[in-house]
Structure 1
Amino acid sequence: MRNGDLYTLDISGATWTKPCGGNVGDPDAPESCMEFATLPDGAIAIRDSKRPDLTPMRFSADELTAFLGAI
């Protein structure tokens, strides 16, 4: 699936996963976490846990693989 097509998907019912528990070691700092949702064809959506009202970024499986291979 091409990235542009990902933004046409309705993800309003997506299940979001928060893999971290916030700022480790500083309980007074504002939480800084991302949330992930799985989309069709291995794509993912990523959003800021502090601002779930903003449009999530979406990445195809190929884009995600390229990103992970580059870091």
Structure 2
Amino acid sequence: MDKYDVDLAGAEWRTSRKSQNNGGCVEYAQVGAFVAIRDSRNPDREPLIFDANEWDCFLDGAAKGEFPAPAV
């Protein structure tokens, strides 16, 4: 299956345990061999879909601080 053909109809969306209750959360869902992420404030927008390698690279980069928070 291609990541662009993932059916999200039955996806079980979860929010990180580290999220605050301010509505600014990222939700994720495991869908077969893929991980989907979406903005909890805009759940109807198309989510990002990662294959296993992309997801591992994203998590590694996040752990290394490669994605700093934007300046306010």
Q: Secondary structure of the residue that 1:7 maps to in structure 2?
A: helix
Q: Which residue of 2 aligns with 1:10?
A: 7
Per-residue deviation, 1:17: 0.2
Q: Once superposed, which parts of structure 1, at least 4 consecutive aligned residues long, lie more than 6 Å away?
A: none
Per-residue deviation, 1:39: 1.5
Q: Aligned residues: percent identity?
A: 40
Gap runs ≥5 in structure 2: 65-72
Structure with the larger RCO, 1 or 2 (CA within 8 Å, 6+ apart): 1
Cα deviation code 1:29-57 (max 9, x no counterpart): xx21000000112x200000000010010
What is the RMSD of the two structures over their aligned residues, measured on CA atoms? 1.5
What TM-score comes out, normalization by structure 1 length? 0.72
Per-residue deviation, 1:68: 2.0
Work out whether 1:22 is the aligned partner of 2:21: yes
Per-residue deviation, 1:69: 2.2
Higher strand proportion: 2
Gap runs ≥5 in structure 1: 24-30
